[in-house]
Amino acid sequence: MRPGTARAVLLRLLAGLGVMWGAATLTFIALQLVQGDQVAGVLGTNSLATPAVRAQVIHEYGFDQPVLVQYLHWLGRLVTGDLGRSYQLNTPVTQALSGQIWPTAQLAGAATLIAVVVSVVVAVLTTGRGRRVRSAASGAELVAVSVPAFWIGLIALTYLSFKWHLLPGAGATGLSGLLLPAAVLSIPLTGILSQVLREGLDEALRQPFAISVRARGVGPTALVARHALRHALASLATLVGWMVGSLFGGAVLIETVFARPGLGRVLLSAVTSRDLPVVSAVVLLVAGVFVVVNVVVDLLYLRIDPRLRTPRSA
Amino acid sequence: MTAERLLVAGHDAAALDERAWRDVRGREVGLVLQDALSSLDPLRTVGAEVAEPLRVHTRLDRASTDRRVLEQLAAVGIPDPERRVDQHPHELSGGLRQRALIATALIADPPLLIADEPTTALDVTVQRQILDLLERLKSEGRGLLLVSHDLAVVARIADRIAVMDDGRIVEHGPADRVLRAPEHAVTRALLEAVPRGRRATARGAAAERGTAGGGTDTTSPSASVGVPLVRVSGVTKRYRERGGRTRDALAGVSVDLDAGETLGIVGESGSGKSTLARVVLGVLQPDDGTVELRGGPWSALTDRRRRDQRRTFGLVPQDPLAALDPRHTVRQVLNESRGGVRLRRRDHDEELARLLAEVGLGAEHLDRRPAELSGGQRQRVAIARALAGDPAVLVCDEPVSALDVRAQARILALLTTVQRARSLAVLLVSHDLAVVREVCDRVAVVRDGLIVEHGPVEAIFTAPQHPYTRALLAATPRLPGDEDEAEIAPVPTEEPTTGARR
Amino acid sequence: MIRRPSRVALAGAPSGIAASVALSPPGRRLRGSPAVWVAGAVLALLVLAAVWPGLLTGRAPNDTDVAHAMTGPSGAHPFGTDRLGRDVFARVVHGARTSLTIGLSATAIGLVAGALVGAVAGFGPKLLDGVLMRLVDVLFALPELLLALIAIVVLGTGPANVAVAIGIASVPNYARLVRAQVLVVRGTEFVEAARVLGRGRTWIVLRHVLPNALGPVRVLAAISTGGAVVTGAGLSYLGFGPGPPSPEWGSMLVDGQDFMQDAPWLVLFPGLAVAAVVLCCSVLGRAMRGRTACARGDASRGRRTGGAPASSTPATVAGRPARPRPPTEGPRRSAPTPRSSTSATCGSPSATAGPRPRSSTASTSTCGAASAWRSSARPGPGRARRRGRCSGSPGRPRR
């Protein structure tokens, strides 16, 4: 690894830490804003609690300390990996979440895989084609991106699972149970990826170097495969932030539609019951994933585009 | 494009299908495009790019391919090819990149090389080197189809010239004949439009006032007589590069501009000439040194105080399309420079029409937007805007380099007319020696932020003192008719590393 | 597609909203492709439904008629009835008001707050810019839905809070776009020309920067409105919207999903309504973009290079004169140069809004906004001009 690259990685990681800190602060502020409810959250529906019990809870959770102290405690606990206890489940948050991460990761991973494969195929097949092919493709992409995926999920569930019994229905586990939700979740992703890839390819093919390459006797397929695709991949990097968010947001809804376990469902019940430690843990987790994925993509990007490796060029 | 018959190396190209064409491309015909930075795949190494035709057309193994690539790179004059093969296009300087691009076109040894504006993006000295290379290739027996807008470039190497206009070849013949005795009006117009720098020195008197001299202290002696209009003394402008280093775009430049004179600032890209213009305009603050206006402070003023005096300067930009707000009509553009004077609409329109007439436009252009004008018309609007505030100094930053040859000639003529009619002082920044020679009284040659030579235009062009000036002059392509100039021996210069400054 | 639909649509526009509008002369009329007309008509109908539902349906959305419960689409009930015999068509029509209100007010909140933040960052001192953009980076790292959910935890449920939550969640998009635009326009040569003419800051901001900067923001707002409607429906579907009796598309989906097998129309029609809004907004947004886009390329790409303080010194971006004068001609295709890959990571003062892909036009240059804007904005004319030189008519391609 060149020193420049190492420095870039370090900088990005630092910046990532900054984002994590920001996210932690944000959730702390949210916690403060609903502090009154927090006590109720801890006490749960047990509204018969005496003022003494209330006071004890306030003291135990440190709600009576100055805000700054609470903030520092909060940060200190986070650094040591202690995300607090869920008010609702009365278990450590880490424990409440740990079992839920894998199903969501599975879902998101499968959806990404489907989206990448389909979109690369579609983009390569539709680039440099006539206007009809292009407008058909971009129309399809527009629909894929626009139509709410969770609604498609509902429809698909009705017909594919319940009416035609082609696929296992809601609540199913295993690979076959993963297929439908992942496919549905991948729809908007596929739409956007293929659109961006195709435009990237088109853009690359419009570059003067495409003419040079053709003038060397290279055929159109080899031009796309050897030259243009790499340029188009570079344009995907910016999408990553969007993809992380899209997958997560989509997963929350898709998990609800398909009654799958996962972070989405935990988050929803936490939001409903104002179980802030769980909400903030999810926030930090998602921000962390975002940061890591972005750093990885940045590194990939450095590999793809050599111009980024040299500190300066003309 | 249609053709009755297109023969390539004895094959009837019209009968070729895509696959057969691919055999022709690269092997029978090599192509060199304008800008190697975008004509080479920026994501691949130079070696991979040069080797590609071999991969397509031959079955050489890896080792011999690599060897051929190194040989070819050396053959086009790239020093240290072992290092260069693993670099990417952006790491090479402009000249080396262009050589690498030529290497990609040559490696499969095509008998015909098509070069489409091969030197248009390059500085003159580099252009000279690339043209030398192309000439050598031609003399080695390769056919060369050179496409260029620049007659002087073509004149340098071509045996035959075909002049095209509107998709037709209007004149075709031996280079000598076409250049010396053009038959078609288009050819004549093109030839006339090439700036030769042989202007009648009507203002020779003004030119006499300057003196030749090297070094950075180029304060003209007339300064002692009266106060110069603009005095630049010891101006330094530093830029911070990525990685914390600094680079002096200007390193202690001193120059005077007197009322009514035209001063040319000449240099290659990155020499700092545009920075100088911007410092004079007061849009860049010098890090060191001062600019004085009519003996009073200028660069030392606060931006707000400077604002009232800004009308002393008019700016003629390089690229009028970028320098005009796309949302504004010509009327709005001109109004912007007229300050708060309110007139009745009729008088107002008359005044704007007068202004437009002065730059050769009609009142019908008032309600057009820049996108609806041609390049020359846009530049005229920009000039009208510069004149609207009734300035004393016109700062022209590469005023014609974005224009085609004929528009260039007209805009230069317009600038000269306006300058005389209003007796303006003009600071003309250009990379183009011929343009400077045609318009200017005095010239300052800038390199790496320093004025290396300075003096009256005739002195600089006929008896250049500094080796860099001589190299610049020698590198400038000329039409054969201009060769009566004393031929100045080229001084070998190291190639400016515009592409890989680090 | 709950997440950031606005960005989806935007990302679909790598051709650079940012660059385009700044360049295009305004006032050209929307070219009416059939899709645009259809989208406009459908949207008009939906707006009519929201403003004056009685005009489209005589039935009240909450009138129950158990005798005719769960009947399929028919002449009397074009969209069928639900388990209480309520007319689905009437509920969809009446639901338009809630959904569109959520969409529009969320967009308004996001637009105003985001534009404010972006403008302050773009115009303000460097330090403030840095602080604001780091804040935006943090928000950017969180999915929109998650941000909206956090806001709901704090604010509580209900349609108004849902709108506010979605609006807050979209602030980073607008802030980034507006800032990027301001920086791009601030670095242009016509702004410098105005300075040379002696125009003050206020004049330049009002006459040049804002008009040119806000064009793309309009496009984003149009597209985002559709996105906000979907997000709103999604949040209602999750149970954070208006309570059960009120007709709202998202809650209708919840109501209907248990009966999907027997009465698919209960889910089909509200979903179609949501999809229609988004599609129409996207189509119109794209048309606006297409109208304003002079050329392809993305202005903001150039700004992603880390640390170049284009904001403070327009002239010296990335440490050198802003306008690299090519020796020969102005609008030469500018150097393809590194775009730092810091997609949306925090540390980079990325001026982009949303994930606008840096495609390999590479027409960005290190020197940042101004030249990137220039080069990316019109590769066409530049090339044409070069080509046109011989014929003496700039802009006319030789072949």
In DSSP terms, B445 is beta-bridged to B266, B453
pLDDT given for residue B374 in this prediction: 87
Structure tokens at A13: 């990681």
Contact: B33, A208; criterion CB under 8 Å: yes
Cβ of C324 within 8 Å of Cβ of B398? The answer is: no
pLDDT at C283 over 80: yes
Instruction: Compute the average pLDDT of residues A18-41.
Output: 78
**A282 neighbourhood in chain C, CB within 8 Å:** 146
The least confident of A282-291, B62-71, B424-433, C247-256 is C247-256
- pLDDT (mean) for B114-137: 85
Interface contact flag, C190 B323, Cβ < 8 Å: yes
Kindly report, residue by residue over A232-276, the tens digit of the pLDDT.
887 776 677 778 878 888 888 888 888 888 888 888 888 888 777
What six digits make up the tokens of C62? 């909450």
Tell me the three state secondary structure of residue B115.
Answer: strand
Tokens matching residue C41? 């008509």
Tell me the average pLDDT across C323-342.
Answer: 31
- Please say if the pLDDT value at position B490 is more than 50: no
**pLDDT value for B26:** 79
Mutate which of B34, B39, B102 to test chain A, going by most A C-beta atoms within 10 A? B39
Copy the structure tokens of residue C240.
Answer: 């954070």
pLDDT of residue C355: 35
Position C206 scores a pLDDT of 87
Measure CB to CB from residue A230 to each of B43, B91, B104 and give the nearest one: B43
- What does pLDDT average to over chain A? 81
Q: What is the ipTM, given to two decimal places?
A: 0.85
Q: Residue B80 pLDDT more than 60?
A: yes
CB < 8 Å to C320, chain B: 239, 241, 247, 249
Q: How would residue C393 be classed by pLDDT, with cut points 50, 70 and 90?
A: very low
Q: Please name the residues between 448 and 487 in chain B that touch chain C, using a CB distance below 8 Å.
A: none
Q: What is the dihedral of CA B433, B438, B444, B447, to 10 degrees?
A: -10
Q: What is the pTM of this model?
A: 0.76
Element spanning B247, H or E? strand B246-257
* B355 has a pLDDT exceeding 70: yes
Q: Is B321 left (phi over 0), alpha (psi -120 to 50) or beta?
A: alpha
d(CA A59, CA B368): 73
Which chain B residues are Cβ-neighbours of C188 within 8 angstroms? 322
Please report the pLDDT score of residue A169 as a whole number: 63
B293 sits in which H/E element: strand B288-293
pLDDT digits over C163-222, tens only? 999 999 899 889 989 998 898 898 888 998 888 888 888 888 888 888 888 888 888 898
Q: Which residue has the higher pLDDT, C150 or A57?
A: C150
Is C145 within 8 Å of chain A by CB? yes
Distance from CA of B167 to the nearest CA of A (A): 21
Give the pairing type, strands B262-266 and B442-447.
parallel
- Looking at this protein, which amino acid is placed at residue C40? G
**Which range among A105-109, A149-153, B143-147, B205-209 shows the weakest confidence by mean pLDDT?**
B205-209
- Whether residues B29 and A215 touch (CB distance < 8 A) is answered with yes
CA distance B401 to chain C (A): 5
- Residue B482 binned pLDDT confidence (cut-offs 50, 70, 90): low
Average pLDDT over residues A46-53: 66
C-beta separation of A230 from A222 below 8 A: no
Under the banding of pLDDT at 50, 70 and 90, the label for residue C352 is very low
pLDDT for residue C109: 94
User: B: neighbours with 3+ CB pairs under 8 Å?
Assistant: A, C
User: Residue A37 — very low, low, confident or very high, per pLDDT cuts 50/70/90?
Assistant: low
Flag whether pLDDT at B381 surpasses 90. Answer: yes
Q: How far apart are CA C300 and CA C287, in angstroms?
A: 21
Q: What is the pLDDT of residue C14?
A: 30
Radius of gyration for the alpha carbons in chain C, expressed in angstroms and rounded: 24
Write down the mean pLDDT value for chain B.
80
Q: Judge whether C181 and C217 are in contact, CB under 8 Å.
A: yes
Do the Cβ atoms of A312 and B241 come within 8 Å?
A: yes
Percent of chain A exceeding pLDDT 70 equals: 87
Q: Of the ranges A45-59, B27-41, B327-341, B451-465, which is most confident?
A: B451-465
Instruction: Report which residue type is found at C385.
Output: R
pLDDT of residue B213: 38
Does residue B36 carry a pLDDT above 90? no
The pLDDT of residue B244 is 65
pLDDT tens per residue across span A168-197: 666 566 677 788 889 999 998 899 888 888
pLDDT band at B431 (very low <50, low <70, confident <90, very high): confident
Per-residue model confidence (pLDDT) at position C164: 92
Confirm or reject contact between C374 and chain B (CB < 8 A).
yes
Phi/psi of residue C219, each to 5°?
-60, -45
Task: Report pLDDT digits (tens) over C12-39.
Answer: 333 333 333 333 334 444 456 788 888 8
| Cross-chain CB nearest to A234 (options C348, C360, C366) | C360
In angstroms, rounded to a whole number, what is the distance separating the alpha carbons of residues A305 and C259?
A: 53
| Interchain pair A148, C361: CB under 8 A | no
CB contact under 8 A, B26 and A217: yes
Residue of B nearest to A233 (CA): B43
Give the model's pLDDT for residue B382.
92
C108 pLDDT tier (thresholds 50, 70, 90): very high
**Cα–Cα distance measured from residue C71 to residue B401, given in angstroms and rounded to the nearest whole number:** 75
Which has the minimum average pLDDT: A277-291, B236-250, C131-145? B236-250
Q: What are the φ and ψ backbone dihedral angles of B81, each rounded to 5 degrees? A: -60, -30
| Residue A245 identity (one-letter amino acid) | G
Distance CA(A116)–CA(C245), nearest Å, equals 42
Q: What is the pLDDT of residue B442?
A: 92
- Cβ of C125 under 8 Å from any chain B Cβ? no
Domain A101-261 has what CATH class? Answer: mainly alpha
Greatest mean pLDDT among B72-76, B258-262, C107-111, C391-395: C107-111
Question: Which has the higher per-residue pLDDT, A234 or B255?
Answer: B255
Contact B403 C394 (CB under 8 A): yes
Going by C-alpha positions, the residue among C312, C291, C303 that lies closest to residue C364 is C303
Range 3-42 of C in CB contact (< 8 A) with B: 22-26
Query: Which band of pLDDT confidence, cut at 50, 70 and 90, is reported for residue A118?
Result: very high
User: Is the confidence at residue A25, as pLDDT, over 80?
Assistant: yes
| Most confident of the ranges A6-10, B167-171, B475-479, C379-383 | B167-171
Closest to C193 in 3D by CA, of A296, B385, B127: B385
| Contact assignment for C1 to A146 by CB distance below 8 Å | yes
What is the pLDDT, as a whole number, of residue B8?
Answer: 61
- The four Cα atoms C35, C41, C44, C49 give a dihedral, to 10 degrees, of -120
Q: Does the pLDDT at position B9 exceed 90?
A: no
Domain residue ranges in chain A = 3-96, 101-261
CB A206 within 8 A of CB A275: no
Structure confidence at residue C292 as a pLDDT band (50, 70, 90): low
Summary mean pLDDT of chain C: 66
Q: A88 falls in which pLDDT band (50, 70, 90)?
A: confident
Q: Taking 50 as the threshold, does the pLDDT of residue B54 lie above it?
A: yes
Q: How far is the CA of B148 from the CAs of B8, B34, B38, B155, C389, in angstroms?
A: 22, 10, 18, 10, 9
